[in-house]
Amino acid sequence: MKQRIGLACLVLLTSGLAAQEPADSRLGKPKTYNDYFPWTPPESKASWDTRKQVVREQVLVANGLWPMPEKTALNPVIHGKIERDGYTIEKVFFASLPGHYVTGNLYRPTGKTGKLPAILSPHGHWGGRGKGMNNGRFFEETEAKIDLEIKGGGEKTRVGAKYPLQARCAMLAQLGCIVFHYDMVGYADSQQIPHPGAKANPGENFLDVEAELRLQSFMGLQTWNTVRSLDFLLSLPDVDAKRIGVTGASGGGTQTFILGAIDDRPAAAFPAVMVSTAMQGGCICENCSLLRVDTGNIELAGLFAPRPLGMSGANDWTKAIETKGYPELKKLYALVGKEEDVFAKAYLQYGHNYNEASRELMYNFFNKHLKLGHPEPIVEKTFVPVLPKELSVFDEAHPLPKDGVDAAGLRTFMTIQSENQFLKSSLDKVQHEKMLRVALRSMIVDEMPKDGDVEEVWKGEREVKGDLVMRRFLLSRKGLKEAVPAAGVIGKEFDGRIVVWIHPKGIDSLWSDGKLVPEARRIIDGKGAIFAAQVFRTGVEAPPIDAKFPGYFFGYNRSLPAQRVHDILTVLAYVRANPKTASIHLVGFEDAGPWTLLAGGLAGDVLKSVAADANGFDFDQIKSVDHPMMLPGGLKYGGMPSLIGLCAPTDLLVHNAAGLGEIANYRGKIVREEKKRPADDVVRWLMEK
């Protein structure tokens, strides 16, 4: 009977909501990489500067590169020079991490002196993904497809059609550029770890829960290899560091704009057949958790601004780039005073490609922006190809070094390196806290809303129940069509203190036998008010996550705890905006305690005090991606003890903390208790603040 009366009170507080407003938009189908990703450019340069920094940091966190790992010695090996007309080709391998080797070919122009422009060239998924087909840098087109390319006009010569990857490197070298053409992981000579398309167990491809919690991903490894490939290129004495270009197609296009998003060193970038409001990249090597939550490839490419950006499209997911994406990027570049430095062209007569027509577009782009000094238009020259087996970097004299490791060995090193780096950074408490705040903001993909960012999508009438006045609400961030049920309860006397009440039972937890529960009554009797929220999926089982690769879900959708933190921040912002609010106090009960503590870390100076049940939880307890507290990155940054510390300098009560590590050096007043406090005692502590 007690439960029924409680539910009746919930009906009292929420009745009529469904008739007033549609269900929360987040309850629909999860977003995937195949959805629509439009982007609205900012209204001012100042707002873009702020947004750019936030998204850049999100990309770094998502790729496991926040903070940037220690750059260990590359120890490059360059050998096997092959002479060609106007350029040479050398074989290269170096260690991007101890025991993990990047492989590729270095093209250098001959007859040139002084510092030369350089191009970094990731190749993409050429050669297929099946067993024995991941040839990438070794790619050779079939005779039948060569005929089709020539007939369709995409290629003019048989040699260019057969070796399109070599073609662009050879031509750029003939134009006077040093080019490093390197392998994606699992392609050509890079065989220490299989590419995701090949059969591999979850540990080999960073697909398990441990990888998610530590933000170790296949894409993150590939992005790190790209960063280190740029390091290698810039280590060459004849490279002009001010004239660095990057270009790749498809998955190589993804690497092109991701590098541009996180690294200021490239001067110009040309991602081919990848930047789009449509499909965002279908391979595991192009996806990782957190990467595209609340963003997409158009904005990610825009992070390159104001540096010159060129894009090509084809009759694939990029076919609409000239009308969807490019106009918005044009507005962004105008905003930063470089409208003429961005362009896009789609060749709808060709399928997914980096053919001669697109390559010539790229040559002319780099000629202009890297100041190569050639008359235009530039037309691709013929070249003498190198047989794939002759491009291989490993031979008897130059074998894969004996310290080479597989995915398991590499991940062990990555974990140890990350933990050591975390401990070292904690010695500078100010910088350490800043680093953690960026990490938490990126893991939740949210921050405290600004004034005016929260709206009422529905507001009920005032309801009087004895000495209490109640009102029901549905809240949303503006423009997001969310629906967060909330209820305010106030007594006859109110001194401006508002307690934001977060409970796994939501609003229903306020009532028992038709009356306020004692701990809620204590708040009212103490002249405070209560604002309770029914945060996302409270009491509702969440749908299962795609176990094949969690990044396909978490890369486009907030995790369940992140959605709940998002809603708590929405409620806090709404309460803050009330002119009668003197102070805000946040309390989290039972399973809601960890959500509350994470929200406290993002609330800034909004809160006077926080009291929460730690529920004995830390992220090392998670063994499945379907766990209700699954938060990508949860273990990378010291787990709950470190993240709880971000509630500082708010007065903090953390109870039921048995098994939870120490919250060290808290900047503020903190009470940490192993045992669980009774709810009434928790509220008593809160009302003393």
Give 383's pLDDT tier (boundaries 50, 70, 90). very high
The three state secondary structure string of 125-175 is: CCCCCCCCCCCHHHCCCCHHHHHHHHHHCCCCCHHHHHCHHHHHHHHHHHC
CA torsion angle 135 136 140 145 (round to 10):
110
For residues 140-144, give the mean pLDDT.
94
pTM of this structure? 0.95
Average pLDDT, the chain: 93
For residues 104-130, give the mean pLDDT.
87
For residues 494-508, give the mean pLDDT.
97
| Percent of the chain topping pLDDT 70 | 94
Gap between the Cα atoms of 586 and 651, Å rounded: 10
Which one, of 84, 87, 138, lies nearest residue 112 by Cα?
87
List the Cα angle 28/29/35 in 5-degree steps. Answer: 125
For residues 42-69, give the mean pLDDT.
98
Amino acid at site 44: S
Give 130's pLDDT tier (boundaries 50, 70, 90). very low
Which one, of 267, 281, 248, lies nearest residue 122 by Cα?
248
Residue 518 confidence (pLDDT) above 50: yes
Gap between the Cα atoms of 183 and 191, Å rounded: 10
The two three-digit tokens of residue 487, written as one number: 């209820």
Give 539's pLDDT tier (boundaries 50, 70, 90). confident
One DSSP character per residue, 340-378 reads GGEEEEEETTS-S---HHHHHHHHHHHHHHTT----SS-
For residues 452-460, give the mean pLDDT.
96
